[in-house]
Amino acid sequence: MAKAADIVAGCCFLFAVLGAAVLLVVAFVFVIPLQVTVDEAYLGRLALAAPGNGTPASLAYDLSLVVVLHNHDWALSVRRTAPLDAELRFAGRPFARVRMAGAMDWDRIRRSTKAIYRFAVADEAALGSIAAAEFAREKASGVFSLELSITGRFRYQAHDHSHILSVICPLQLSISTPTMPAPFARAGQTSHMCKWRAPKVHALLDERAHDLG
């Protein structure tokens, strides 16, 4: 009986070791994509300025944002391998671009942790007639619909190629004031979830082309 028990215990141990090995292989081969959220977005100003002399209307803006990249992978850390860029759009028209992190700032996001990026933009940008009409409608409602596009490249630990980060973050914002801060337009909302912009099969093809180049 003791010998049979030893055999059973040995088999259980072997299966446990094999299971752990398979789990580690899966963890290092199949990665969990980064999740991107906008945790704070303060709209200090969004106004339309039309000179009235035939010059196209311009959009005056003042925004500050906090973008968070979450690495939910429990086994692998990720390292940024290219600049992290953001573009703000209104009615589909870009009006501001900002480099969230430069080429020399090679961030590393450890497993099951996050990286936080803060930036602010304030300027004026030309706005087309269609976007100007949409601005008038949204100003009347008190809520502005913006988009934040974020692009970059990251490499997972133990992987020999980089992964494209390309997401769109829809933002519903109201004007903030010193006495009435409005990080988001919807009551009770704590963050905006960003969506991956391209199908992963296209992203994979882009990755391979970039690595071959």
pLDDT tens string 46-65: 998 865 566 678 999 999 99
Query: What is the structure's pLDDT at 26?
Result: 40
Q: What pLDDT is recorded for position 29?
A: 47
Q: Tokens 């974020």 sit at which residue?
A: 150
Averaged pLDDT for residues 27-47: 82
Task: Over range 134-139, report the average pLDDT.
Answer: 93
pLDDT of residue 167: 93
pLDDT recorded at residue 201: 34
DSSP output for 145-180: EEEEEEEEEEEETT-SS-EEEEEEEEEEE-B--SSS
Mean pLDDT of the residues in the chain: 77
The predicted pLDDT at position 84 comes to 95
- CA 87 to chain CA centroid, Å, is 11
Of all residues in the chain, the percent with pLDDT exceeding 70 is 68
Q: How far apart are the first and last CA of the chain?
A: 64
Distance CA 100, CA 107 (A): 11
Lowest-pLDDT range, 27-36, 111-120, 168-177? 27-36
pLDDT band at 5 (very low <50, low <70, confident <90, very high): low
pLDDT 10s digits, 189-209: 556 778 876 444 333 334 443
Give CA–CA dist 118/84, Å, rounded: 12
Q: Which tens digit of pLDDT belongs to each residue from 53-111?
A: 666 789 999 999 999 999 999 889 999 999 999 999 999 999 999 999 987 777 889 99
Q: CA–CA separation, 153 vs 51, rounded Å?
A: 41
The model's pLDDT over 140-184, given as tens digits with 9 standing for 90+, comes to 999 999 999 999 999 998 778 888 999 999 999 998 866 555 555
Q: If you count DSSP H runs as helices and E runs as strands, how many of each does the chain have, helices first?
A: 3, 11
Q: What local confidence, expressed as pLDDT, does residue 168 receive?
A: 93
Q: Is the pLDDT of residue 124 over 90?
A: yes
